[in-house]
Homo-oligomer: A and B are copies of this chain.
């Protein structure tokens, strides 16, 4: 399956786009290869693009006052990523979005997205649903952070997103969970081998 075919399948699975609509829609995306550790969004600069991950993985994070990294989001195949506040409001980003491995994305830029939404009710609808899913997902994240302990959060994420847990470096996962790498290491090794 080509890169564009993946995006097309993604769209048609969720919305009733005809083939020609889907093709027309996909034409507005640009395929880009991204090397491991390369940034696709950086603080200060406005995020001009929204990215659909065809292959590889990414990590969005901010740097705290004392220099610690805090992971806001991961994205693997078939997910979308960008600095949401920067992209939507076209204002300077506060996040880094970095490739965790050599990756391939399909990106759309802000003006093109605006034009698509204006052009066709169906496309507007597509982005509305995308925004709703993002909002719902973020709301669940807030609830998880408020209601569960670090250990429970770890267990939840491990069960719910095993592909991510097994794929991203431990320090990235720790900062996603809101704990230190040391503590995550301890949680992990607590669970295996009480080494009787």
Stretch at the interface among A31-39, A97-105, A142-150: A142-150
Name A132's closest neighbour in chain B (CB-CB): B131
Do B62 and A143 touch (CB < 8 A)? yes
Q: Give the residues in chain B near A139, CB-CB below 8 Å.
A: 72, 84-85, 134, 138
Apart from the given pairs A70-B143, A85-B136, A138-B142, 14 other A-B contacts in the complex at a CB distance below 8 Å: A62-B143, A64-B147, A72-B143, A72-B146, A85-B139, A88-B132, A89-B136, A117-B128, A121-B121, A121-B124, A131-B131, A131-B134, A145-B145, A145-B146
List residues of chain B with CB within 8 A of the CB of A136: 84-85, 88-89
Smallest CB separation, A66 vs chain B (Å): 10
A-B contact pairs, 5 of them (CB 8 A): A62-B143, A124-B128, A125-B128, A138-B139, A142-B142
Structural contact, B117 and A147, CB atoms closer than 8 A: no
B142 in contact with A84 (CB, 8 Å)? no
Q: How far is the CA of A112 from the CA of B140 in the complex (A)?
A: 25
Residues of B within 8 A of A147 (CB): 62, 64-65, 70
Cα separation A148 to B65 with both chains bound (whole Å): 9
Query: For the complex formed by this chain, how many copies does it contain in all?
Result: 2
Report which of B65, B70, B128, B143 forms a contact with A128, defined as CB distance below 8 A. B128
**Complex Cα gap A131–B70 (Å):** 25
Q: Which residues of B contact A135 (CB under 8 A)?
A: 84, 88, 131-132, 134-135, 138
User: By CB atoms of chain B within 10 A, which of A62, A94, A138, A175 has the most?
Assistant: A138
User: Could you mark each residue 10-22 of chain A with 1 if its beta carbon is under 8 Å from any beta carbon of chain B, else 0?
Assistant: 0000000000000
Contact flags (1/0) for A35-75 with B, using CB distance below 8 Å?
00000000000000000000000000010110000101000
Is A188 part of the contact surface with B, judged by Cβ < 8 Å? no
* Distance (whole angstroms) from the CB of A36 to the closest CB of chain B: 24
List, in ascending order, chain B residues with CB within 8 A of A178's CB: 145-146
Closest to A134 in B: B135
